[in-house]
Structure 1
Amino acid sequence: MNARDDAVSERVLILAPHGRDAALALQLLRSADLTAQVVADLPGLVRELMATAGAVLVTEEAMRTADVADLSRWVEAQPAWSDMPFILLTRQGGVDRNPTAARLSRILGNVSFLERPFHPTTLISVVMAALRGRRRQYEARARLDELHAREAQLRELNATLESRVALAVDERTLAEEALRQSQKMEAVGQLTGGVAHDFNNLLTIIRSSVDFLRRPNLPEDRRRRYMDAVSDTVDRAAKLTGQLLAFARRQALKPETFEVGGCLRDVADMLDTVTGARIHVVLETPEEDCHVHCDRSQFETALINMAVNARDAIEGEGTLVLRLACGQPMPAIRGHVGSRAHFVAVSLSDNGSGIAPEQLSRIFEPFFTTKEVGKGTGLGLSQVFGFAKQSGGDVDVSSRLGVGSVFTLYLPEVTAPVEAVDARPIPTGRTDGLGRRVLVVEDNVEVGRFATQILEDLGYATEWTANAEAALERLGPDGGGVDAVFSDVVMPGMGGVALAEALRQRLPHLPVVLASGYSHVLAEEGVHGFELLHKPYSAEQLSRVLCRMLGDRTVQPSLIGDQGTRQTRR
Structure 2
Amino acid sequence: MRWQSLPLFAGFAVLALIVGTRAVLVEGQRANREAARQAIDYQESLSGLLSLAQDAETSQRGYLLTGEKSYLQSYRQAVKAIPGQLARIDSMTTPDDELVQQINRIKDALSLKQTDMAQTIALYDRGDAAKALELVRSGQGKAAMDQIRASMDTIRRIGGAAIAARDEHTDRVESWLRIGSLAALLAIFLLGAYTIRLSRRRFREVAVAQEELMRKNIELGNEIRTRETAESQMRQMQKMEAVGQLTGGIAHDFNNMLAVIISAMNLAQRKLARGEHDIIKFIEAATDAATRAANLTARLLAFSRQQPLAPQVVDTNRLVTGMSDLLRRVLGETIRIETVLAGGLWKTHADPSQIENAILNLAVNARDAMGDNGKLTIETVNSHLDDSYAATHAEVKAGQYVMIAVSDTGEGMPAEIMAKAFEPFFTTKPVNKGTGLGLSQVFGFVKQSGGHVKIYSEPGEGTTIKIYLPRFFGAEEALLPTGRGDNPAAVTETILVVEDDARVRASTTDALRELGYTVIHAGSGHEALQILADNPGVALLFTDIVMPVMNGRKLAEEALARLPQLKVIFTTGFTRNAVVHNGVLDHDVHFLAKPFTIEQLAAKLRDVLDAK
TM-score by length of 2: 0.57
* CA displacement 1:243-281 (0-9 Å, x = unmatched): 111111111112111210111122233323333333221
How far is the alpha carbon of 1:309 from its aligned partner? 1.4
Mark the runs of 5 or more structure 1 residues left unpaired by the alignment. Answer: 1-154, 554-570
Preserved CA contact (<8 Å) 1:257 1:291: yes
How has the CA–CA distance of structure 1 residues 424 and 321 changed in structure 2, closer, same or farther, with 3 Å as cutoff?
closer
Which of 411, 416, 425 aligns to 1:353? It is: 411
Preserved CA contact (<8 Å) 2:380 2:403: yes
The CA distance in 2 between the partners of 1:414 and 1:447, in whole Å, is 40
How far is the alpha carbon of 1:218 from its aligned partner? 7.7
How far is the alpha carbon of 1:347 from its aligned partner? 0.8
How has the CA–CA distance of structure 1 residues 446 and 189 changed in structure 2, closer, same or farther, with 3 Å as cutoff?
farther
How far is the alpha carbon of 1:297 from its aligned partner? 1.2
- The alignment status of 1:248 with 2:307, answered yes or no, reads no
Q: Which residue of 2 aligns with 1:206?
A: 261
The CA distance in 1 between the partners of 2:379 and 2:571, in whole Å, is 37
- The alignment status of 1:236 with 2:236, answered yes or no, reads no
Q: Which residue of 1 aligns with 2:458?
A: 400
How far is the alpha carbon of 1:452 from its aligned partner? 2.9
Letter in 1 for 2:255: N
Letter in 2 for 1:241: T
Aligned pairs, number: 393
Q: Which residue of 1 aligns with 2:400?
A: 342
Identity %: 37
The CA distance in 1 between the partners of 2:602 and 2:396, in whole Å, is 46
The CA distance in 2 between the partners of 1:490 and 1:440, in whole Å, is 14
How far is the alpha carbon of 1:176 from its aligned partner? 5.5
Which of 361, 364, 371 aligns to 1:315? It is: 371
The CA distance in 1 between the partners of 2:264 and 2:545, in whole Å, is 31
Preserved CA contact (<8 Å) 1:290 1:344: yes
Letter in 1 for 2:426: F
* CA displacement 1:165-199 (0-9 Å, x = unmatched): 99997998799568635643443233222212111
The CA distance in 2 between the partners of 1:503 and 1:157, in whole Å, is 75
Which of 319, 323, 329 aligns to 1:267? It is: 323
Letter in 1 for 2:380: L
How has the CA–CA distance of structure 1 residues 302 and 421 changed in structure 2, closer, same or farther, with 3 Å as cutoff?
closer
Preserved CA contact (<8 Å) 1:333 1:396: no
The CA distance in 2 between the partners of 1:465 and 1:167, in whole Å, is 63
The CA distance in 2 between the partners of 1:278 and 1:456, in whole Å, is 47
Q: Which residue of 1 aligns with 2:359?
A: 303
- The alignment status of 1:278 with 2:337, answered yes or no, reads no
Preserved CA contact (<8 Å) 1:213 1:226: yes
Preserved CA contact (<8 Å) 1:281 1:320: yes
Which of 258, 281, 293 aligns to 1:225? It is: 281
Task: Map 1:133-148 to 2 at 5 A.
Answer: none
* CA displacement 1:71-128 (0-9 Å, x = unmatched): xxxxxxxxxxxxxxxxxxxxxxxxxxxxxxxxxxxxxxxxxxxxxxxxxxxxxxxxxx
Preserved CA contact (<8 Å) 1:293 1:413: yes
Letter in 1 for 2:596: Y
Q: Which residue of 1 aligns with 2:605?
A: 546
Task: Map 1:55-454 to 2 at 5 A.
Answer: 180=235, 183-214=238-269, 215-216=271-272, 222-329=278-385, 331-332=389-390, 335-336=393-394, 338-415=396-473, 417-418=475-476, 420=478, 422=480, 425-426=483-484, 429-430=488-489, 432-433=491-492, 436=494, 438-454=495-511
How far is the alpha carbon of 1:200 from its aligned partner? 1.6
How far is the alpha carbon of 1:479 from its aligned partner? 7.3
- The alignment status of 1:526 with 2:584, answered yes or no, reads yes
TM-score by length of 1: 0.61
Structure with the bigger percentage of helix: 2
Q: What RMSD in Å do the two structures reach over aligned CA positions? A: 3.7
Q: Which residue of 2 aligns with 1:455?
A: 512
Preserved CA contact (<8 Å) 1:355 1:405: yes
The CA distance in 1 between the partners of 2:560 and 2:227, in whole Å, is 52
Mark the runs of 5 or more structure 2 residues left unpaired by the alignment. Answer: 1-210
Task: Map 1:479-498 to 2 at 5 A.
Answer: 482-498=538-554
SS at match of 2:403: strand
Q: Which residue of 1 aligns with 2:51?
A: none
The CA distance in 1 between the partners of 2:326 and 2:513, in whole Å, is 40
Moved more, 373-382 or 538-547: 538-547
